[in-house]
A = this chain, B = another copy of it.
Amino acid sequence: MKISLLLTGNELMSGDTVDSNSAYIAQSLKDLSLVPYIKKVVGDDTSLLISSIQELAAVSDVLVINGGLGPTVDDLTALALSNAIDSPLTRNADAYAKLDEWATRRGFVMTESNLKQTELPAACEIIDNPNGSAMGFRCVFNDCLIMCTPGVPSEFKPMVENHILPLIREHGNIEARSTITRLRIFGITESGLQDTVNEIFPDWPAEVELGFRVQLPVIEVKFATVGDEFLELNQQWADKFEAHFSDYVIGRDSVRLSQALNLALQQKGLTVTTAESCTGGQIASGITSEAGSSEVFEAGFVVYSNRMKTKTLGVAEDLLEQHGAVSQESVIAMAEGALLESSADIAISISGIAGPTGGSDEKPVGLVWMAWGRAGAIKARKFFLPMGRIAFQRTATALAMDMVRREVLGLSTDVDYFSELKKKR
């Protein structure tokens, strides 16, 4: 069943108004296992509206038109539909009665502009809008159910639930149900995932539609099947996928990396502390962006200068002089100092060169060292992230959170990330 959307309004074209209606109806259509087919947006232009209605009605089973129902001169939907389906505008008695009642209830006097809203194509029936003066209206044209709906979200949204979805269901005799499974992956690129699937699962079944969505720093993998008979197949292949990518899978549904980390810490009853230089507090703020983080986090230290690495975390001055702040020795000492100061169970420390300046041949912009672990068992690792400052900080933060997640869950921290993986495979 093909459902198309036609949105109208100059304010949508100019970018001054962000359209939330189409995402809303798309989410609602999921309940019927439907996804919109075409969405088209045009300004207040009668001839373009007419041709768009005809074009979309010709290729769709349902056409939802949104906007242009108001009382002003730039509200053209009724006029355009009248032309598109060749059905003259006439006073609609139901629309008039509803509007009269609406105005009376509010103590309004109906104006000429309001009366315009009761002039609808003769072929149309109204769709009730208890929340505004603009009635919706609908007709069937060449087997396409056309529904005109108000652009105001507070009027549109209840109309979707109360009328649009039931009308679609009725028009389309709907039954088939889809199953969606979602996994969230950290540490493999979109193309790396695709290549691996091609290589490892050459027999991937066509019934299980695989989709990737980049939601930095993670990638969401979606497994979609249509029809109850494929429910088991969906589970089976999602499980196979999860088994293969094992600890790169941070969770299901919409889990965030910070959320997965907090959850792991909660499950093990552990607390974490942070000692950050180049990420400047992003790891701490990632952890504390999650509700309930006070269970797992008491304190973090942003030690940007060498002086403060020594003063707050007790990193020896001669260590910094000998090895530099961006070094294995320095991050290990930072982690040890943070554990001592905070009494947390686990520390994560990080020091790198975010750029754009400050690099050298030996230690270029993009180099980052991190250390993590419990007192007396600190591990360290370096990464090279040659990207802009913002991307560097975001990626370093994500890698640090994943290191702690792995450490806490007893998973290997000696894993390949992103490019490294591709190089070795």
Residue on B nearest A387 in the bound complex, by CB: B106
Whether the Cβ atoms of B302 and A281 lie closer than 8 Å is yes
Whether the Cβ atoms of A39 and B38 lie closer than 8 Å is no
Comparing A29-37, A372-380, A398-406, the segment that makes contact with chain B is A29-37
Q: Which residues of chain A from 164 to 211 have any CB-CB distance to chain B below 8 Å in the complex?
A: 190-195, 198, 211
Known: A13-B35, A107-B384, A211-B16. A191 touches B281 (CB 8 A): no
Separation of A20 and B388 alpha carbons in the complex (Å):
19
Separation of A23 and B299 alpha carbons in the complex (Å):
40
Known: A280-B284, A305-B299. A195 touches B274 (CB 8 A): no
> How would you classify the secondary structure of chain A's contact residues: helix, strand, loop or mixed?
mixed
Whether the Cβ atoms of A299 and B303 lie closer than 8 Å is yes
Distance in Å: Cβ of A210 to nearest Cβ of chain B: 8
Whether the Cβ atoms of B304 and A288 lie closer than 8 Å is yes
A230 within 8 A of B: no
Known: A22-B15, A23-B15, A387-B106. A297 touches B289 (CB 8 A): no
Query: Could you name 28 residue pairs across A and B whose Cβ atoms are closer than 8 Å?
Result: A10-B211, A14-B35, A15-B23, A15-B25, A18-B20, A38-B48, A40-B40, A55-B55, A71-B194, A106-B386, A106-B419, A107-B386, A108-B418, A108-B423, A109-B419, A111-B191, A111-B195, A279-B288, A280-B300, A284-B284, A285-B393, A289-B389, A291-B389, A299-B302, A299-B304, A299-B305, A300-B301, A311-B342
Binding site for B on A (CB under 8 A): 10-18, 20, 22-27, 30, 35-43, 48, 52, 55, 70-74, 105-109, 111-114, 131, 133, 152, 190-195, 198, 211-214, 274, 276, 279-285, 287-289, 291-294, 297-305, 307-308, 311-312, 341-342, 355-357, 384, 386-390, 393, 418-420, 422-423
The 4 A-B residue pairs with the shortest CB-CB distance in the complex, in nearest-first order: A280-B288, A15-B26, A281-B281, A281-B284
